[in-house]
Amino acid sequence: MSGRVLVGVKRVIDYAVKIRVRPDKTGVVTDGVKHSMNPFCEIAVEEAVKLKEKKLIKEVVAVSCGPQQAQETIRTALAMGADRGIHVEVTGKDYDTLGPLQVSKILAALAKKEDAQLVILGKQAIDDDCNQTGQMTAALLDWPQGTFASEVSMEGDKVKVVREIDGGLETVKINIPAVVTADLRLNTPRYATLPNIMKAKKKKIANVKPADLGVDLTSRLEVLRVDEPPQRQAGMKVETVDDLVGKLKETGHI
Amino acid sequence: MRALRLTLLRHSRHLSKFSSLGGVRLASENVVSQSATSSPPETAGDNLIYTQEHLALKESLRKIIDQEINPHVDQWEAEGKFPAHKIFKILGNAGFLGVNKPVKYGGLGLDFSYSVAVAEELGNIRCGGVPMAIGVQSDMATPALARFGSDELKEEFLLPSIMGDKVACLGVSEVGAGSDVSSIRTKAVRKGDEYVINGGKMWTTNGTQADWMCLLANTSDGPPHRNKSLICLPMNLPGVQIARKIDKLGMWSSDTAEVFFDDVRVPCKNVIGQEGMGFTYQMLQFQEERLWGVANILTAMDNIIQETIQYTGQRKVFRQPVLYHQSVHFRLAELQTEVELLRSLLYRATALYIKGNDVTKLASMAKLKGGRLTREVADSCLQYWGGMGFTSDVMVSRFYRDSRLLSIGGGADEVMLGIICKYMDTLPKK
C-alpha cells in the first residue's frame, strides 16, 4: 500500500461574506471578494493529517482545481500539515463551468496516477452545495465510498466509517482503496500555526493541466440565470385556526 | 470550541438544516453582521510589505480570534479581566507570541513586518484590552530581553513567554513618573549578589496575572539616563504586592495593576544586558511598541467605520437612511482617507525599520497621528450612531472608551511631539 492520501480542497467565497448577484445575472460577484478554503475541505485535510500523525498513512497530497489563486488554498492545506500539493490549472470559461463531474474525473485520474489508497473530500462545497464530487469520484474509480463521515478509522485493509444519515448514525466497513467525504462533526480543524505556515513555503506544489490527465472539461450543464432569493414578505397574524384555514383558502394555498 | 465552530458554520447561508443548534448572539452583533468586510482583500503580490506568508498568518490568527477570543469578549469586559494564561497559551502554541524573537527560544526569527501583521490582525478583536495585553506579552516586555539578555535569563523568562506558559508585564511607569521615565524612583540596591528592590509601579498591564515583570529600576546613583537597569523580576517573590486592580474608563478586559516592592530580593544575574543601560534599552523597545500600537488601531478604525456605514445605511432619519445625508458619508470618507494615510506611514516606517534604519521620528509621528485620529474616528462615528451609540450594547461606545488611551499610553502625544521637534531641531536651545 502506498500509504498516500489525496485530499481535495476547493477555494470558495468565504462563508461570512454577503453574496451579491452580478448585474448581468450570470453568477455572483467574485472580484475583490474574500475567498477561503471550503469549511468541509478543512475538515477533510484535518482528518488526513490526523491519520498521518497516527502513522496510519504516510503522505498527504492536497489537490485543488482552478486558476492561480487555487494555490493559496493548497498552501493553507500545506500549512495544516499536508506534505505536497497538486494544482490542476483550470482558467477562464473552463473554470466558470467547472463542476463535480469534471472535478471527479480529474480526481479519479490523479488518484490512479498517485496510487492513492484513500481520497478524502469535504462532503459538499458551500458555494454550490452539490454534494456530488465524492460520490462521482468513487463511481469513476469503481471504489467503495463512505460519505458524510463523522468518524473514520483504519482497520487493516478496510476503513470503518460512521456516517451521519437522516435516521441517525450508520457504520460501514469498506475496502481500501476508498473515497471518504467529511461531514461537520468529523473533527475540528487545527489552526495553521505560524511555524507551519513558514514551513509550507518550502513544500512543493506541482502544476498539472487537465489535458495531461486526459480529462475533457466540457460541461453538460448551462447556467441560464442566477437570481437573488425572493424578498421575504411580511407575515400576518390570525386569531383562530378557522381564520388560518380561511386565509390559506383565500390566497389559494389550499 | 467545537460548538463555536458549529455556530459559525450555522451562520453560513447553506447550513440551515443545523439551525436547531444554539448559538451565542452577542449583544454587540445584534445590529451588524459578525465580520464587516472592509477593504477588498489584496493578493500578496500587490502589497508593499506583506507576502503570501503574512496573509496566511493573518488568516490563521483571524480564526483563533473568531473562535477563542471574540465570543468571550463581552463577558471579559464585564468581569474586568481575561484569562491571560489560557489565551497566551493558545497564541503561543500557534507561534504568534514570538514572531520576531530568536528561534533558539521558540521564536520564529522573522522580521518586524510579521509582528506588524499580527498587530494588524489583532485589531479584529472586539475590544482594546485584549490586544493591548497580547502586545505587552509579545512586543513590549520582551524585546530588550531577546536582544540583550543572557542565555540563562532567556531560558528562564523569554522561552516560556514565547510559548505562552508565563505571562509577562512591563514595569516602567510609576505613580510619580509616566512620561518622564528618567525620574522614576524605584531603587534596586546591590547587596552581595542580590538586588534589594523598593518602590512601586503603576499602569501595569497584565499585572494581576503576570509571572514576571520586566522592571526598570535605578541601580546606581548617577546621571538619570545612565543609572537604570532592566531586571527580570518574578512576581511571586516575597515583598511583591499587587496593591490594587485599577478601575479604568476603558480597556476593561485588561487587568491593570498598581504594584509595590517592599525589600524584594532578586539575584544580580537577573539584570538584562549591562547594568546602567536600562534606560537606553527601554528607549529602543519603544520604537517597536509604537509601530505595534498604530498597526493595531488601524484595523479597529477600519472596522468601526464599516460598522457605522452598515448601521447608518439602515437606520432612517427624516425618511431616508442616515448615511444618505451628505455630511455623514462625506465625513466617513474623510476619516477613511486619513486612515489610509496613516497606514502608508506605518508601512513606510516598517519597511525602513526591517532594513535596519532608525525610524524613531516616523514611529513617533505615526503614534501621534494614531492617537489623535482614533479619537476623531470614535467621536464622529459615535455621533452618527445617535442614542444607540451611547449604549453599552454596541461596539462604538466601547471603541470610544478604549481607543482614548492611545494618545496617553505608550508615550503621550506631548512626548511624541517633543521627539519630532528634536529631530526637526526646533526645540529651544539650552
B163-205 pLDDT tens trace: 999 999 999 999 999 999 999 999 999 999 999 999 999 999 9
- Can you give the residue ranges of every domain in chain B? 52-167, 169-274, 280-423
Q: What is the pLDDT of residues B369-416, one digit of tens each?
A: 999 999 999 999 999 999 999 999 999 999 999 999 999 999 999 999
Looking at per-residue pLDDT, the higher value among B227 and B39 belongs to: B227
Q: How confident is the model at residue B43 (pLDDT cuts 50, 70, 90)?
A: low
Chain B residues inside the 8 Å CB shell of A11: none
In this complex, which of A34, A69, A193 lies closest to B37 when CB atoms are compared? A34
Phi, psi (deg, nearest 5) at residue B252: -65, -35
* CATH 1.10.540.10 is right for the domain spanning B52-167: yes
For testing the chain B interface, which of A18, A124, A194, A198 should be mutated: the one with the most B CBs within 10 Å?
A194
Cβ neighbours around A144 below 10 Å, total: 18
Q: Under an 8 Å CB criterion, which residues of A touch B?
A: 15-19, 32-36, 39, 69, 72, 75-76, 79, 126, 129, 184-185, 188, 191-198, 200-201
The predicted model scores a pTM of 0.84
> Are A198 and B108 inside 8 Å of each other by CB?
yes
Q: C-alpha angle with apex A76: A71 to A77, nearest 5 degrees?
A: 95
Q: What is the structure's pLDDT at B282?
A: 87
Q: Calculate how close chain B gets to A13, using CA atoms only, in Å.
A: 11
Q: What is the structure's pLDDT at B45?
A: 60
Q: What is the pLDDT of residues A10-34, one digit of tens each?
A: 999 999 888 999 999 999 999 889 9
Helix (H) or strand (E) holding B90, with range, is helix B84-93
- Average per-residue pLDDT in chain A? 94
Q: What is the structure's pLDDT at B141?
A: 93
Closest CA to B84 of B168, B144, B170, B141: B168
DSSP string over A195-246? HHHHHHTTS-EEEE-GGGGT-----S-------PPPPPPP----SSHHHHHH
Q: Calculate how close chain A gets to B419, using CA atoms only, in Å.
A: 35
Q: Taking 70 as the threshold, does the pLDDT of residue B39 lie above it?
A: no
Average confidence (pLDDT) over B341-351: 97
> Are A194 and B95 inside 8 Å of each other by CB?
yes
Cα gap B238→B252, rounded to integer Å = 28
Q: Calculate how close chain B gets to A203, using CA atoms only, in Å.
A: 13
> Are B18 and A184 inside 8 Å of each other by CB?
yes
* CATH 3.40.50.720 is right for the domain spanning B169-274: no
- Per CATH, the number for A4-251 is 3.40.50.620
Q: What is the structure's pLDDT at A236?
A: 84
Is-catalytic flag, B376?
Answer: no
> Are B60 and A79 inside 8 Å of each other by CB?
yes
Residue of A nearest to B61 (CA): A191
Q: Which positions of chain A have pLDDT values less than 70?
A: 1
**Which ipTM value was assigned to this complex?**
0.76
Q: What is the structure's pLDDT at B54?
A: 93
Q: How far is CA A3 from CA A74, A174, A177, B187, B359, in A?
A: 20, 16, 10, 64, 53
DSSP letter at B107? -
Cα gap A188→B291, rounded to integer Å = 35
Chain B residues inside the 8 Å CB shell of A39: 9, 12
Q: What is the structure's pLDDT at B3?
A: 46
Cα gap B363→B420, rounded to integer Å = 10
Cα pseudo-dihedral B163, B164, B165, B170, rounded to 10: 110
Cell triple for residue B43? 493578493
Phi, psi (deg, nearest 5) at residue B240: -85, 120
For testing the chain B interface, which of A75, A197, A201 should be mutated: the one with the most B CBs within 10 Å?
A197
> Are B60 and A126 inside 8 Å of each other by CB?
no
Pick the CATH number of B280-423 from 1.20.140.10, 3.60.21.10, 3.10.450.50, 3.40.50.11890: 1.20.140.10
Phi, psi (deg, nearest 5) at residue A40: -70, -30
> Are B56 and A79 inside 8 Å of each other by CB?
yes
The one catalytic residue in B289, B307, B340, B376 is: B289
Chain A residues inside the 8 Å CB shell of B110: 198
Cβ neighbours around A247 below 10 Å, total: 13
- Can you give the residue ranges of every domain in chain A? 4-251
> Are B57 and A201 inside 8 Å of each other by CB?
no
Cα gap B426→B420, rounded to integer Å = 9
> Are B94 and A194 inside 8 Å of each other by CB?
yes
In this complex, which of A34, A191, A194 lies closest to B41 when CB atoms are compared? A34
Q: What is the structure's pLDDT at B34?
A: 38
Q: What is the pLDDT of residues B269-286, one digit of tens each?
A: 999 999 999 999 988 888
Q: Calculate how close chain A gets to B36, using CA atoms only, in Å.
A: 8
Q: How confident is the model at residue B28 (pLDDT cuts 50, 70, 90)?
A: very low
In this complex, which of A184, A196, A200 lies closest to B6 when CB atoms are compared? A184
Q: Taking 90 as the threshold, does the pLDDT of residue B16 lie above it?
A: no
Q: C-alpha angle with apex A43: A38 to A46, nearest 5 degrees?
A: 125
Residue type, A193: T
Q: Is B52 on the interface with A (CB under 8 A)?
A: yes
CB pairs under 8 A between A and B: 79
In this complex, which of B34, B63, B108 lies closest to A191 when CB atoms are compared? B63
Residues B393/B317, Cβ–Cβ less than 8 Å: no
Residue of A nearest to B62 (CA): A191
> Are B60 and A36 inside 8 Å of each other by CB?
no
Q: What is the pLDDT of residues B141-169, one digit of tens each?
A: 999 999 999 999 999 999 999 999 999 99
Q: What is the structure's pLDDT at B125?
A: 97
In this complex, which of B33, B34, B95 lies closest to A193 when CB atoms are compared? B95
Q: What share of chain A in percent tops pLDDT 70?
A: 100
